[in-house]
Structures are given as C-alpha cells and as structure tokens.
Amino acid sequence: MGEQRDRLLVLQRKVDEFGRLVNIPAKAEEIAKLEARMSEADFWNDQGRAKGMVATLKSLKSVSDPHTDLSRSVRDAIELLEMAEAENDQRTVADVEREMARIEAVYGKLELSLALSGRYDKSNVFMTIHPGAGGTESCDWAEILYRMYSSYCARVGWTCDVMDMLPGEEAGMKSCTLAISGENVYGYLKSEMGTHRLVRISPFDSNARRHTSFTAVEVTPEVDEVGDVTLDEKDLRIDTYRASGAGGQHVNKTDSAVRITHVPTGMFVACQTERSQVQNKARAMKALTAKLQQLRESERLEELADLKGARGTIGWGHQIRSYVMMPYQMVKDLRTRHETSQIQGVLDGDLQPFIDAYLRWRLGGSKDMRGQDDDE
C-alpha cells in the first residue's frame, strides 16, 4: 500500500502547488466580492457591466471550484487509505486506486488550464494554410491539413468557416484562410503555428518515389479591440473579384469577393464566403486588423515565437511537426517530442494529444523548438 500512499502524497503536493500558483485565496476573495455585488438589487441596471462581471465570476470559479474539489478528494482518499491499511481491506484499497486515477485525470485538465490563461487564449482565430517547398505535393499536403483541422474542429464542437480558398493548378490548394470560433480556440490552436512536414510515396509520381513536402500554418487571434492599430485608407489596396467557390448564381455572377492588402507590410486577407461585397470586405478588414495587431504585439514584445509562431522559411529545418508515411508511419512533434504511429487517426482530426503535450511543454518552461527532425 506504500505505492498508493506515495502517489496520493505526490498528488497532494501538486494540488497545493497549483493553488499557490493561481493564488486561490485571492480568487476566493474576488469571488466573494462579485457574489455580494450580484446580490444587490441594482446589479442588472447596467447590462454590459453586469455580463462582464458574470463572465469574470465564471472564469474565477472554473479554477477555484475544481481546485477545492480536488483538495477535498485527495484528503478523503488519504484518510480512506489509512483506514484500509489499518484493517487490511483490499477492496477499499481497490476503490482508492480508482479514485486516484480519477483525481489524476481531473488534475491533468486543471493543470492545462494554466496554459490557457494568456491574453488572447479565449479568442477565436483566423487560420491560414500556405504550401511551401514541394510544388503540387505541397498543395496537396495543404489540402490534407485543411481536412485535418476541419475534422478536429468538428470533434471539439467549434465552427470552422472557409473565408478564402485558392485551388492548386493540378491538385490541392495554393492557400486557404479559415475563421474558427469556439471556446479557447487560440489557446489550443497556437500549438499548430509553424511548418508541417510530410514524407510519403507521392501519388503524383509515376515512379512511386518518396517525396518531402512542407506547408506553413499561421494562427491569428481575433481581437475585439484594435489596440495600437489604425488602418489608413491610403495604405490599403482593395481588389474585388468573382468568387470561385460554390455559392449559387449570385456569388458566381458578381464581383463579391474582396482582397485587402496592407501595402506597408505586404500583409493581405481575402474573403469570398459572404454573399455581398460589403460583408466580405467587413470580414476581411477584421481579419487584417487582427493580423496587424498580432504583428504589433510581436514586435513590441519581441516574442515572435509566442504570437506569430516560429514559422520562418517554409522548408527543411524549420518544421515543428513531421508526418512520416514511408518508410514507417510516425507523427512526431519536434518541440514536445510527443509522437504516435497512428498517423491516419491524426490526419482524421485526432490532434488533442499533440495539443495537450504542447500546453504542458509550455508550462514546463521549454526553450526554443529543436531545429530539425532526426527522422529521415
């Protein structure tokens, strides 16, 4: 029974340390103040302010309540184990084992919440997928990644809308911009920023040779406040064109699609999914503003790897994750070292283990990502 006792004591130390890190006493004090304010008769007179306070209370409780429950559960489990040891009750020991497994799982989720406390982590995102070195191969790889992220969004209950998509000349896509909305979207998808490498037998090579392809993924948090960003009309080039995707006669017969380029930085955003030019322009402006705000933040903080992602050149030596189909099957993240041989499951949207590993890696204070894969 000594092993069970050691596991429980380790759990107790982890839960206590978590409480110190997030300052549970301060959160409890803030919760008491908010609840007292919410009980006042005039609380809902200012609807906007009231909703903000309710959201703050919910956020505070999402950390404090699980921590309180975990602390109580660990104490109860320790007491139950001591009783079982005194009476040599193996059935109760088995019950404690199951309770420890549950506590460890709950703690794991609570620990990840620390990595989702960044300024933009609760934001929706604009995701852009760009093929790199590899020609048609990379265009096809970009489309595979698009399907992977679409499937992941469906799994977790997020909404994934295609803002703009440019088909490849032979296969796949030259570029794709997605608007993804849901809970903690940026907090999770920031793990995907960077260059993704695919190794496989090419379906486009009549000699069935092995090819390596690269595609970059950029993730920009959608911001409600523009901060330091101001868009001057003279810095913008606005082009309209006919939407290329499905959408009925109206979309195909009018120049409803909009592409906005910020000339000083060269950044651009396109949108063609809305039925009117005005709607597409508004959505594209919002995405462009978010990208410029992200750039401004990264320049000011000098943390490109944190906000903008360590993408660099879209090619060898800059990838964050490798997907190898031949001569063996392996998906390996080069930052966290998390890997799996279930490559088809990953491409079908089973990304959560990689995302969780990335969040824990950030919590562990890891430095820069490793430069390149040791898999050939």
Query: How long a stretch of residues is the chain?
Result: 376
Residue 308 has what pLDDT? 43
CA angle 218/299/174 to nearest 5° reads 25
Q: Where are the domains of the chain?
A: 2-116, 118-370
pLDDT tier, 224 (very low <50, low <70, confident <90, very high otherwise): low
CATH class, domain 2-116, is mainly alpha
Query: pLDDT tens digit string along 14-37?
Result: 899 888 888 899 999 999 999 999
Residue 311 has what pLDDT? 42
Letter for the amino acid at 206? S
Query: pLDDT tens digit string along 332-366?
Result: 999 999 999 999 999 999 999 999 999 988 877 53
Query: pLDDT tens digit string along 125-170?
Result: 999 999 986 688 999 999 999 999 999 999 999 999 998 888 888 8
Q: What is the largest CA-CA distance in the chain?
A: 82
Residue 312 has what pLDDT? 43
> Where is pLDDT greater, at 209 or 295?
209
Residue 244 has what pLDDT? 62
Residue 229 has what pLDDT? 58
pTM for this entry: 0.68
| Residue 235 pLDDT greater than 50, yes or no | yes
Residue 255 has what pLDDT? 66
Query: pLDDT tens digit string along 295-316?
Result: 665 554 444 344 444 444 444 4
Query: pLDDT tens digit string along 109-119?
Result: 888 877 887 77
Query: pLDDT tens digit string along 180-195?
Result: 999 889 999 999 999 9
> Where is pLDDT greater, at 270 or 10?
10
Mean pLDDT of the residues in the chain: 82
Q: Of the CATH numbers 3.60.15.10, 3.30.470.20, 3.40.1390.10, 3.30.70.1660, which one belongs to the domain with range 118-370?
A: 3.30.70.1660
> Where is pLDDT greater, at 5 or 368?
5
Residues 169-177: what's their mean pLDDT?
A: 89
